[in-house]
Amino acid sequence: MKFFIDTANLNDIKEANALGILDGVTTNPSLMAKEGIFGDQEVLAHYKTICEIVDGPVSAEVIATDFEGMVREGEILAALHKNIVVKIPMILEGIKAIKYFSNKGIKTNCTLIFSPGQALIAAKAGASYISPFLGRLDDVSTNGIDLIAQIRGIYNNYTYDTEILAASVRHPMHIIQCAEIGADVMTGPLSAIKALANHPLTTLGLEQFLADHAKGK
Ligand code: E4P
């Protein structure tokens, strides 16, 4: 499973990248706003900086909600760097834009997926990635992991190139469950990625090894 980090925070991106296990980055307008990044030029410059840090797909989201606007914004984003993936919301205008970019060989990430039907139509349009938001489903008492499993089952019946990018990951168990189901990619915060390495027995065991080694000094 590929690991993407879901943030626009440059320090977190650098820290995750330094681990050597980072495959890409996802952002969204809320994550950009959280970092105080506003205005077209500032946003574009920030995407470029991210692309210079991580050698992998970087999802950059359009703001327009009509086909022409998405195409206009998506083409500007795609021209920024070869690693940019144009992130497009799951609406019918978005499906048209995904098909347009697919025909041009520009990668897309269809975001805000909450149902298997949405995942199916995005794959048919040629989305490179679809982003089911599992944490947000959990937030409304619906099992987000079940959706990932359902989409995996549907995609396994066919030969779509679309990758399942499990999004809205909140904690390490989400990552493990995504890997068990066979999500192609997960995107989550640095905290969830780092938490995978933790185990109290590892901590205790290492302390003991170092203490025993020190006895010989
Ligand atoms: C996906 O690409 C989104 O940026 C993200 O995963 C949403 O996560 P949230 O539900 O924690 O905001």
| Ligand 1: residue whose CA is nearest its atom 11 | 168
Residue 53 amino acid letter: I
- Domain made up of 2-215: CATH architecture: Alpha-Beta Barrel (3.20)
Distance between CA atoms of residues 188 and 12, nearest Å: 11
Q: Dihedral of CA 86/90/124/165: which sign?
A: positive
Per-residue pLDDT of 43-101, as tens digits, reads 999 999 999 999 999 999 999 999 999 999 999 999 999 999 999 999 999 999 999 99
**124 is an active site residue:** no
Would you say how long the chain is, in residues?
Answer: 217
pLDDT at 217 over 90: no
Distance 174 CA to ligand 1 centre (A): 13
Residue 3 amino acid letter: F
Rounded average pLDDT over 96-108:
98
- The DSSP secondary structure of 44-96, one letter per residue, reads HHHHHHHHHH-SS-EEEE----SHHHHHHHHHHHHHH-TTEEEEEESSHHHHH
Structure tokens at 28: 């969204």
Per-residue pLDDT of 145-171, as tens digits, reads 999 999 999 999 999 999 999 999 999
Mean pLDDT of the chain: 98
In terms of Cβ atoms closer than 10 Å to its own Cβ (0-12, 13-18, 19+), residue 197 is: exposed
DSSP 3-state percent helix, strand, coil across the chain (nearest 5): 55, 20, 30
pLDDT at 53: 98
Q: Specify the 3-state DSSP secondary structure of 21.
A: coil
Out of 2, 14, 87, 194, pick the active-site residue: 87
pLDDT at 61: 98
